[in-house]
A = this chain, B = another copy of it.
C-alpha cells in the first residue's frame, strides 16, 4: 500500500533532517577542527549540501504532497497538523530564496568566518570588512526576497526565520520598556556596588582544570556526554542535532568563570535540544521553537541559575576541588558579588544581566542600518564605537573589544541578535513561574540537583517542540503574554533588594 501524502512528507523530512545533521557536523568541524587553509574546500561542501537541501525542499513533489496533505487532515493528530504547517513554512522560505543566492551566501559566509578568525589574530577589522560586505549584500538580497514572499519588512523576514512570528514591533516594545527603567536601575546598582567590598580573584586556571570543572557541572545538569561533546573554539556555540549535540566554550587561563559560564550558556541550548519531543526528532515540529526561545534557555542557565546564590553554594566547594583555591576571596559572598557584578564593559559575552540588553540594542540598530544601506561596512567600526560610548559610556580599546567580538554577522546571522534580548525577557518570565511550581528549586540547585529545574523546563518548554508559536508557548507555560515586566521585576529584586540566600533560607 502506498504511503499517505503526510507519511511521504515525513519520509522526505527524515532525509532533510539527516542533511541538516551532516551540515551541522561540517560547521562544527570548520570552527573547531578544520585546518585554516581548508576553508575553500569546506565552503564548496557546505554550498553543495545547502543547494541539495534547497532542491529537496522546493521539489514540485513536496509542494504537491503538501497540497494534498493539507487539503484533508482528517485522521491526523494535532502534532501532525502542526508538523504540516512547519513543513509548509520551510518550503515557503526555501521557495522565496533562489538556490544561487543560498549557495553564494553559504560560500561567502564560510569564507568570512575564516577571515573573522584570522582577524581575531591580527586585531584588524579591515581584514574582515570586504568579506563582511559581501555577506551583507547577499543577506540584504535574501531579506528583500523573503520579505516580499512573507509580506513582512525585509528585517522582520530575517527575524521570522530565526524566531517564527516575532516582529520588530515586539522587539521595539521590549527595548522601549527596558530603556525606560534600565539606565536608572544601572545607576542605582552601580552606586550601591560602590559601597560593597569586592575582593579580587586572581590566579592561573589551566584549561584542563577549567574543563574538568565545566564537565562536572554539565554532568550534574544532565548534559549527555555519551551523545555530546565539549570543545574549545574562538566563540562559544552549540551545534549538532539531538543525539549528537556539541557545545564549545573558550577558556581564559587568567579568569575562572568566563569559560565555565560560556559552557553552561551553551549547555542551556543543548538541554533544549536533548529535551525535544523524542517521537518527532527528525520532523520540523520536533525542532526547537526558534532562537529567542533557544536563548531563553541558555540565558536562564547562564544568567539566572549560574548567578544565583543557590548555585554559588554549589559552586564554591567545586572551585576548591578543581582549582585548589580557598580563602576569603573564594567565600560564597565574594563569589556571588563577582558573578553579579554590574559593569559597563565592552564585551557582550562578558556583560552582566543589566547591561546585556544595551549591547544587543546597539547590534539591533546597527544591523538594521547595515541592511537598510544607511550604514556602510567600512563605517561600521566607528558607528559601533560611537554607539558603545553613547549607550554604555564605554570606549573599546581595539577592534577585538569592539566590532570583531561577535561572529554572527560574518556568518550571515542578521536578525539573530534580538533573540538574546527576547530570550533574557522570556527566561525571567519562565523562572518566575518555575519558582512557583517548584518552590525549592534554589535549594535544589544549592545541592547540585538540577532535576526540578530541568523537569519543569522539559515539560513546559523543551518537549513542546515547534507545535505552537513562541508567544503561545510562553503563554501556556507562564499564563502571561511576552512582556519585559517579569525581567525588570527579577532584575530589581536581585540587584537592589538583594533577596536572601534561598538555599540557606529553605534549609
Residues of A in contact with B (beta carbons under 8 Å apart): 14-15, 17-19, 21-22, 25-26, 29, 33-38, 40-42, 44-49, 51-52, 224-229, 241, 243-244, 282
Contacts of A49 in B (CB 8 A): 18-19, 22
**Dominant SS among interface residues on chain A:** helix
Known: A15-B48, A244-B35. A41 touches B22 (CB 8 A): no
Contacts of A52 in B (CB 8 A): 15, 19, 52
Contacts of A227 in B (CB 8 A): 35, 37-38, 41
Q: Which of B35, B228, B241 is the one whose CB lies under 8 Å from A225?
A: B35
When all copies of this chain in the complex are counted, the total is 2
Residue of B nearest to A228 (CB): B35
In the complex the two chains form, what is the Cα distance from A137 to B244 in whole Å? 29
Whether the pair B244, A48 counts as a contact (CB closer than 8 A) is no
Whether the pair B244, A34 counts as a contact (CB closer than 8 A) is yes
Whether the pair A33, B35 counts as a contact (CB closer than 8 A) is no
> Closest approach, in angstroms, between the C-beta of A446 and any C-beta of chain B?
30
Q: Known A-B contacts: A15-B48, A22-B22, A26-B26. Give 10 more (CB < 8 A).
A: A14-B44, A15-B52, A18-B48, A22-B49, A35-B227, A35-B228, A35-B244, A38-B227, A41-B241, A42-B244
> Closest approach, in angstroms, between the C-beta of A492 and any C-beta of chain B?
42
Known: A25-B26, A29-B29, A33-B229. A18 touches B38 (CB 8 A): no
> Closest approach, in angstroms, between the C-beta of A432 and any C-beta of chain B?
35
> Closest approach, in angstroms, between the C-beta of A138 and any C-beta of chain B?
19
> Closest approach, in angstroms, between the C-beta of A198 and any C-beta of chain B?
39
> Closest approach, in angstroms, between the C-beta of A384 and any C-beta of chain B?
31
Residue of B nearest to A23 (CB): B22
Whether the pair B22, A45 counts as a contact (CB closer than 8 A) is yes
18 contacts between A and B (CB under 8 A): A17-B44, A18-B44, A18-B45, A19-B45, A19-B49, A19-B52, A22-B22, A22-B26, A22-B46, A25-B29, A29-B29, A33-B229, A35-B229, A35-B244, A36-B226, A37-B224, A37-B227, A42-B244
